Amino acid sequence: MVFDEVGRPLRPAEREAPTAGPGQVLLRVHACGVCRTDLHLMDGEVDVPEPPRVLGHQIVGTVDGGAQRVGVPWLGWTCGECRYCTSGRENLCPRARFTGRDIDGGMAEWAVADERYCFPLPDGPSDTDLAPLLCAGLIGYRSLTMCGDAPRVGLYGFGAAAHIIAQVLRWQGREVYAFTSPGDAAAQGLARELGAAWAGGSDERPPEELDAAIVFAPVGALVPRALSALAPGGTVVLGGIHMSDVPAMPYELLWHERSVRSVANLTRRDGEEFLAIAGRAGVRTHVTTYPLERANEALDDLRAGRFTGAGVLVPPGGGR
């Protein structure tokens, strides 16, 4: 499924299977998650430098169609030489290339990936259950680490990332406060099922002050709202790649050492840490699956909030 230009749906195309170059692996794709970032790419809010491009950056596949199952995340290549790469911050590498943006991604039957950016995956869970861990889980985890050891954590936007991170927070013994679109009873129900202490609309105030909040929804107006729910010293972490403008706000919302920060991409270390934690915490994803050729429907449903949890595409023969 190919992205051609902003404002157009993805186009089904028949292509020759790609071939792996030095240091790369050819993957038979078994599943690929859809992500809010895919919508930002299709809407032109995040640039796709060289279309046409196969999107998709939560790939579960097997190397050369064999038994070894690996996952490919958004970070697809870094230079290894710059001051960010050499100081444990490869997520900020200015030359980084991203899967499904600069490199053809997983909305396909085959994909080529740099072998250094493939994570070994555990045997137990299904392909479709694992796919959302590779962006929703991973970027969610990096956002979570920015919250320090905050005991009460608010999650604004209870979709793919939040439903995974809520499970990690509960396993760590912390309280989860889930904020959904006003009136989204299905997402609030899922949050309570996963152990949230409270679930309500993003226009509501939580019953307790929060020590940290992660904003996953791409809505800048949530920044002052999340700050106003925060105890002194608390942090608001912005987990998305794009957000509508943050409105002007009184300094009082930041006063008392409250802070706001963004999270960009991931490092391979985040991936190794998170996949280990997800296994120990017994994270179970809630997925809605679509055949690959219905990618546009999956993306429309994501945009409209028609499924809870995560959406995953399955190519022909995939999805064990």
In the complex, what is the shortest distance from the CB of residue 241 to Zn ion, in angstroms, rounded to a whole number? 8
Beta strands, E only, 172-253: 175-180, 198-201, 210-215, 230-238
**How far is it, in rounded angstroms, from Cα 255 to Cα 233?**
9
Tokens of 289: 């699956």
The answer to whether 264 contacts Zn ion (rule: CB under 5 A) is no
The answer to whether 93 contacts Zn ion (rule: CB under 5 A) is yes
Q: Which stretch binds Zn ion (CB under 5 A): 83-91, 151-159, 193-201, 218-226?
A: 83-91
The answer to whether 196 contacts Zn ion (rule: CB under 5 A) is no
In the complex, what is the shortest distance from the CB of residue 81 to Zn ion, in angstroms, rounded to a whole number? 6
* Sequence-separated contacts (24+) of 200-204 with Cβ below 8 Å: 202/156, 202/157, 204/179
| Helix axis angle, 136-145 to 160-171, nearest 10° | 50
Between 80 and 250, name the residue whose CB sits nearer to Zn ion: 80
The answer to whether 79 contacts Zn ion (rule: CB under 5 A) is yes
Dihedral Cα 194, 31, 21, 139, nearest 10 deg: -20
Tell how strand 24-33 and strand 59-63 pair up. antiparallel
Q: Which stretch binds Zn ion (CB under 5 A): 1-9, 27-35, 159-167, 243-251?
A: 27-35
Between 85 and 130, name the residue whose CB sits nearer to Zn ion: 85
**How far is it, in rounded angstroms, from Cα 277 to Cα 271?**
10
Between 35 and 146, name the residue whose CB sits nearer to Zn ion: 35
The answer to whether 153 contacts Zn ion (rule: CB under 5 A) is no
Question: Strand pairing partners for 2?
Answer: 11, 54
Cα angle value 285/289/293 (rounded, 5°): 145
Between 85 and 263, name the residue whose CB sits nearer to Zn ion: 85
The answer to whether 197 contacts Zn ion (rule: CB under 5 A) is no
In the complex, what is the shortest distance from the CB of residue 239 to Zn ion, in angstroms, rounded to a whole number? 10
Comparing CA positions, the residue from 276, 268, 270, 266 lying closest to residue 121 is 276
The answer to whether 82 contacts Zn ion (rule: CB under 5 A) is yes
The answer to whether 135 contacts Zn ion (rule: CB under 5 A) is yes
Tokens of 304: 């409209």
In the complex, what is the shortest distance from the CB of residue 172 to Zn ion, in angstroms, rounded to a whole number? 23
The answer to whether 267 contacts Zn ion (rule: CB under 5 A) is no
Considering only 26, 34, 37, 315, the residue that binds Zn ion (CB under 5 A) is: 37
What residues line the site for Zn ion (CB under 5 A)? 35, 37, 78-79, 82, 85, 93, 135
